[in-house]
A and B are shown apart, each in its own frame.
Chain A
């Protein structure tokens, strides 16, 4: 509790005790009123003062004024205990609101707090000095001890360790890091001592970028929030006018005393306070952004979280997003030999080549390849290689090479969508190996997850060849695929898709942030994945996935939908309770007590509902 909250708590307690005491004092009339003024002023003095100040400042409709009029009115009508009690409960509500909201704000902020406190700067004589990360120049050497946060981006000079990236990516499996590797600020060094040469200033480092993004996220307000603040602007005056009408009209029309009706009108004034309405919306979105960031999904604003929830079309870039963007041996079809033998043979023949295809053959062969087994290597540009392996002539390359050797090869049905390496040994066809870009594990489930989350259409745009693209699309179950596109074509396609989609749906583009910044900004919602350490992607996108797991897209959608549900629940609930109170107040069933309880109750439930966003279950 802050100092002010404590002071208010004491005032409430003193007033409450006085109330109980006064209950047993046998006094009537004016004397009773004067006595009740003591707890009233103790608990509500500041409200009265602020109400008077407010009138001076032209703030006629603020809460203080409304509460002052309502309670003073009750006192004048002789409802002393009522007047004091309403003020008392109003203050309890305010205190609770300030405490609860402060608490949940803190816990959400703590979730996003990845700021490193200090860095161990190594000086020229080898001694360490603890300094503020902001004071470390680029190129200096820092030491990160086990258990410490990495304070700045850099490259490891010495040491071996595991890095816990969960604060950034939500991924709980630690990453291995050793000399030569890049480290990213915000990770936690788990096991070994690391000496790191910094490559960025603090202001430019990953952690500063992310913090900046998160800090600013609540500045971009969602439509729902703007709606409710606009609503509050006319709601309060409207209810006040209603109160005035209620105080004057019924007694004139129906006859009878003004007393009851004025009392009911005062109840209206209590109900007209809009804070419970207004608070629940930003709190829910803030919780949503906080909950997402703990899963490694950074949302740059409440408006984007809102847009994500109504996404109907998701457009994917292929390489690096749905596929891993690395070439690997995916099939080995020997006509003779065993699979490993064929692979080893091809890898040996290509062992002197630096072509990516040769590299993937070598990494697939796994075994240590003894280069001394290979001789007379001939690289044939655009066709492949010929070499002697263990004294036997081996040729590895494309169909053209096989034709040159006079071998008849029928193209294999299964080996489509990649590069095929054919192998001939001793002048006889030995089989072929398919090398292709691999679909990311979990990509198919991710697409299915998006569909389940309510996405109507999934589209893939790629610069790759048609057969490769079609094969990947079929494998993943995508609705549409457009291949052989240049970067500019991708923008055009996104524009076309934007026109085609229904108005109430949003279009999201998912890319890896490399070369697709124009598309990311053209789409309603740009999602960059694998953005850890990529500044360009963090700048260009609206939603940033810190790792490159496609399942995170569906998770982000589920989080956004949950957030939207909670926002809607809070709006409907708060409005419904307010409306019910107004009706019950007008016909005299709900008195001021009920009204104030309703107000505090709605607020508490809205706050509790919003904190559901922090749970990991979606």
Chain B
């Protein structure tokens, strides 16, 4: 499954790159991109693990940039 999330208050391009690296390292993530320009994050992971992966990804992003909020619908 592949899903895109909106990022609010992502103010720094380097943080975006760091988030991308951090999310890619989460077990179960096939691919992830964080686009600073569109302020969006795309995560590709197995369906079964997806919710867990998203939770971990949100936590990982918070660690990198506490100000930035991931909108999980």
Contact = CB atoms under 8 A, between A and B. Distances in A.
26 contacts: A50-B66, A57-B63, A57-B64, A59-B18, A59-B63, A63-B14, A94-B11, A105-B37, A108-B37, A109-B38, A215-B4, A215-B40, A218-B35, A218-B37, A218-B38, A219-B33, A219-B35, A219-B42, A232-B14, A233-B21, A274-B14, A275-B13, A278-B14, A279-B12, A282-B37, A286-B37
Interface in B2-22: 4, 9, 11-15, 17-18, 21
A60 to B, nearest CB: 12
B10 to A, nearest CB: 10
Interface string B21-38: 100000000000101111
A53 B66 CA distance: 8
A221 B17 CA distance: 11
A221 B35 CA distance: 9
Given A221-B33, A286-B37, A279 B63 contact: no
Most buried by A among B13, B18, B35, B40: B13
A439 B18 CA distance: 52
A283 B63 CA distance: 25
Nearest to B32: A219
A606 B11 CA distance: 16
B36 A282 contact: yes
Nearest to B38: A218
A58 B37 CA distance: 26
B32 to A, nearest CB: 10
B38 to A, nearest CB: 5
B33 A63 contact: no
Give the size range of A's interface with the partner: 20 to 34
A278 B15 CA distance: 10
Given A50-B66, A53-B66, A57-B63, A283 B37 contact: yes
Interface centre among A4, A97, A278 (most CB of B within 10 A): A278
3 closest Cβ pairs, A-B complex: A279-B13, A229-B17, A57-B63
Q: Report the interface size class on chain B.
A: 20 to 34
A475 interface: no
B63 to A, nearest CB: 4
Nearest to B36: A282
Interface of A: 2, 4, 50, 53, 57-59, 62-63, 94, 97-98, 101, 105, 108-109, 215, 218-219, 221, 229, 232-233, 274-275, 278-279, 282-283, 286
B2 to A, nearest CB: 10
B9 to A, nearest CB: 6
Contacts of B66: 50, 53
A282 B35 contact: yes
A558 B40 CA distance: 29
Given A94-B11, A275-B14, A58 B63 contact: yes
A397 B2 CA distance: 60
Contacts of B17: 229, 232-233, 278
A97 B36 contact: no
Contacts of A59: 18, 63-64
A275 B38 contact: no
In this complex, the member of A50, A59, A98 whose beta carbon has the largest number of chain B beta carbons within 10 angstroms is: A59
A221 B38 CA distance: 13
Nearest to A225: B17
B37 A275 contact: no
B33 to A, nearest CB: 5
A614 B35 CA distance: 20
Contact of B12 (A63, A221, A283, A286): A63
Nearest to A49: B66
Contacts of A4: 9, 67
Contacts of B35: 218-219, 282
A234 to B, nearest CB: 13
A278 B64 contact: no
Contacts of A62: 15, 18, 64
Contacts of B64: 57, 59, 62
A101 B39 CA distance: 11
Nearest to B37: A286
Contacts of A229: 14, 17
Contacts of B67: 4, 50
A433 B52 CA distance: 73
B73 to A, nearest CB: 16
A282 B42 CA distance: 16
B41 to A, nearest CB: 10
Contacts of B40: 215, 219
Contacts of B15: 62
Contacts of B11: 94, 97-98
Contacts of A50: 66-67
Contacts of B38: 105, 109, 215, 218
B25 to A, nearest CB: 12
A63 B12 CA distance: 10
Contacts of B21: 233
A279 B36 contact: yes
Nearest to A228: B17
A92 to B, nearest CB: 14
Contacts of B14: 63, 229, 232, 274-275, 278-279
A282 B13 CA distance: 9
Nearest to B63: A57
A274 B38 CA distance: 20
Contacts of A94: 11-12
Contacts of A63: 12, 14
